[in-house]
Chain A
Amino acid sequence: MLVTWKYRPRNTFIQRLDPRTRLIFLFSVIFALTIPEIWDFRIILPLFAVSLTLYLMARIEWKDVRRAWLFIIVFVVFIVGINGVLSGRGGPSSVTNIESPILFYVPLLRELGWKVPITVSKVWFALNQIVRMLTMAILAIPIPYTMDPNIYGTAFKRMGASDNFSFTMDLAFRFLPTFARDFTITVDAQRARGYEMEALKGGLAERIRRLAPLIIPVVMQSTVTGEEVIDAMDLRAFGTNKRTWIKQLHYAPRDYFILGLGAAIFIACCVLKWGFGIGGFFVPDFFTNWLVG
């Protein structure tokens, strides 16, 4: 059992970007879709294409992201999508308010005769919702694979976070392999004493309680380590003055391009929705015709 970062250096455009650029762009797209409440497929689809392009440019191997994708697809399609088809709620009220042809009924409580009508607008809403969520998710997925763990603290500092917050982040990334190693050693030591990790017996409470021999030693050792680190930092006068950071970040022209793109997406969505009334939910005729005929 080995804790390894998902990050690997790859010579790609995405990895050459400043980490701040990528985080700001991610938030630009999230805010562009959520603040003006964009539900128009004519805006969502191009944004999805931009996100997908950036995702593919990251050149992450499928075997690395297979599990993450499985989780997201199951979640988005089965929990969010099916709920959208059944209820039509979560987005704009127009999904359930507009007149829309009923495709079929889903009997939920057969005894009570409760049947949920599945309308064209609910189906279109569910599709829009899935694509909208995927647009944001596929920008988020590549971050652990393509952003150097050692740069998170510096990136947040340069984005305006305090020294204390940024240093906590930096320190956490440095502590992580140590604690992961401690955890591995603890697991091995307990196994040597006959602890059967793969066959935890008893009820649920008992199973959780029996995790204590794995967790307690690592946590308690870490509290002791903490005191030593505090002493070391106090001796170096941490917190008395502004800190300087070893790693430096500099924006390149490509960063300005992506930042400009992010700003343009956000502004365009706001102007379209609030200035021209474009971006709200509607069911296109071609979809209704295709389903109803």
Chain B
Amino acid sequence: MNDKSTWEFGTRQVVYGAIGAALYGVFSWATNIFPLPAAGNVTFRPAVAVLIFFGAAYGPWVGLLAGLIGNTLGDALSGWGFYWNWSLGNGLMGMVAGLAMAAINDFRARGDIVKAVGWGIAGIVVGMLFASLTEMFVGGIDFNTALFGYFTPAFLGNTVVTVILLPILMIAFAAVASRRGR
């Protein structure tokens, strides 16, 4: 399923980084077309679960590339523009989630799923905190706005989506990988 060399950056990482990025872009765009109901300025982006899954399945480099490039793609598709700190924050989110790869042996095992979700939530904290706090320098917002206006809604929305969808993705991946034999 994966060779556990966490920090290797070869053909496999290039290809799955690109695939993760493209999927993140497509699903981010789709969320704009079919928005999920949310409270306040909390938005739910199912794409985040896909990003964290790619990190957990293929490692931190794939997570970084999928988040960094995927967010750029999603913004490009939706026409929002190019916001480097949010793209980098999304990359960090995937990268930290990718640290789970070394700890996962069986994508169906409850313990490994919990580990992946835990690393995913850690990734969400690191990535969204980075993006929110850099807005203090880029946009000149204050700490409270960064924390409560930017970080908290992003953290809540992304965590809910990850907790629900990541286990489903992992179980489905285990089935596909066992059929494929590698």
Grouping DSSP codes into helix (H, G, I), strand (E, B) and loop, the B interface class, with mixed when no group exceeds half, is helix
Q: How far is the CB of A123 from chain B (nearest CB, A)?
A: 15
Q: How far is the CB of A186 from chain B (nearest CB, A)?
A: 11
- Contacts known (A144-B76, A212-B165, A233-B11); A136 close to B23, Cβ less than 8 A: no
Closest 6 CB pairs of A and B: A89-B142, A140-B81, A90-B142, A171-B18, A175-B22, A172-B21
Q: Which of A173, A208, A215, A226 contacts B19 (CB 8 A)?
A: A226
10 additional contacts (CB under 8 A) given A87-B145, A129-B139, A207-B36 = A3-B26, A64-B79, A90-B141, A171-B14, A183-B30, A200-B36, A208-B165, A215-B46, A225-B19, A226-B16
A218 in contact with B23 (CB, 8 Å): yes
Interface 1/0s, chain A 220-250, versus B by CB < 8 A? Answer: 1011111101100110001100000000000
Number of residue pairs A-B, CB distance < 8 angstroms: 207
Interface size on A, residues (CB 8 A): 78
Q: How far is the CA of A80 from the CA of B73 in the complex (A)?
A: 25
Q: How far is the CB of A286 from chain B (nearest CB, A)?
A: 23
Q: How far is the CA of A35 from the CA of B19 in the complex (A)?
A: 35
A132 in contact with B140 (CB, 8 Å): yes
- Contacts known (A173-B73, A204-B37, A207-B37); A226 close to B15, Cβ less than 8 A: yes
Question: For window 42-84 of chain B, which residues contact chain A by CB distance below 8 Å?
Answer: 44, 46, 49-50, 53, 57, 65, 69-70, 72-73, 75-84
Contacts of B140 in A (CB 8 A): 39, 90-91, 129, 132-133
| CB of B143 closer than 8 Å to a CB of A | yes
Contacts of A6 in B (CB 8 A): 76-77, 79
A208 in contact with B161 (CB, 8 Å): yes
Question: For window 17-74 of chain A, which residues contact chain B by CB distance below 8 Å?
Answer: 23, 26-27, 30, 34, 39, 64-65, 67-68, 71
Q: Could you tell me which A residues sit within 8 Å of B by CB distance?
A: 1, 3, 5-6, 23, 26-27, 30, 34, 39, 64-65, 67-68, 71, 79-80, 83, 87, 89-91, 129, 132-133, 136-137, 140-145, 149, 152, 164-165, 167-176, 178-180, 183, 197-198, 200, 204-205, 207-209, 211-212, 215-216, 218-220, 222-227, 229-230, 233-234, 238-239
Q: Could you tell me which B residues sit within 8 Å of A by CB distance?
A: 9-19, 21-23, 25-27, 29-30, 33-34, 36-37, 41, 44, 46, 49-50, 53, 57, 65, 69-70, 72-73, 75-84, 136-145, 149, 160-161, 164-165, 168-169, 172-173, 176-177, 180, 182
